[in-house]
A and B are shown apart, each in its own frame.
Chain A
Amino acid sequence: ELKVEQNPLFLSMQEEKNYTIYCNYSTTSDRLYWYRQDPGKSLESLFVLLSNGAVKQEGRLMASLDTKARLSTLHITAAVHDLSATYFCAVDTYQAGTALIFGKGTTLSVSS
């Protein structure tokens, strides 16, 4: 059974400091996705990582994928309040219908 584990599950951040969220998965896959969810809202796609070594950046967020280590990281540079949200990683199982397996999510809270 494919498992996707995120850590930490909760992260209290200070403004202007850097942080990293980790997403580990238990089986071979080279497709990984990051989503953001604001309270009471739906999920918004952030990054699509489709190969080993893929790196994507948007503003203060940078995501990378190491398929050999079965690990993706979401790095936050100089945290700001607007980044407060829950972040999910998801892995492609390559099964029929291609359902993704989601991690439990990491809730970030930025305080000044």
Chain B
Amino acid sequence: DVKVTQSSRYLVKRTGEKVFLECVQDMDHENMFWYRQDPGLGLRLIYFSYDVKMKEKGDIPEGYSVSREKKERFSLILESASTNQTSMYLCASSSVYNEQFFGPGTRLTVL
């Protein structure tokens, strides 16, 4: 089975802190994605990557950056966390048929 893991299930940070969210997949997938999910807004794509060291902006990249140094790992970075970044963050990787497999999610609260 495809497994996508995320470093934390719950995270509480303070405004202005630098936050790292880590995602690891074990199926040798090329593509990896970061979404945030908020009530009433559905899933919104932040960034995605289709190869090591490659990244593409999604719909809402502002305030975020990403890093993909190894194929299996895709990190989301909040350079200076703000309260409006309180959300559920979901990482996914996709198969050759572009079926996306999601990690368990990280619920981030910024105080």
Using a CB–CB cutoff of 8 Å, the interface residues on chain A facing chain B are 31, 33, 35, 41-45, 48, 50, 88, 90, 92, 96-100, 102-105
Contact = CB atoms under 8 A, between A and B. Distances in A.
27 contacts: A31-B97, A35-B102, A42-B102, A42-B105, A43-B43, A43-B90, A43-B102, A44-B102, A45-B101, A48-B97, A50-B97, A88-B43, A96-B56, A97-B31, A97-B48, A97-B49, A97-B50, A98-B50, A99-B33, A99-B56, A99-B58, A100-B94, A100-B98, A100-B100, A102-B42, A102-B43, A105-B42
Contacts of B92: 43
Given A41-B104, A97-B49, A92 B98 contact: yes
The residue in A31, A92, A100 that gathers the most chain B C-beta atoms within 10 A of its C-beta is: A100
Given A31-B97, A42-B90, A45-B99, A97 B56 contact: yes
Nearest to A98: B98
Contacts, number: 53
Interface residues of B, number: 22
A102 B59 CA distance: 12
B88 to A, nearest CB: 9
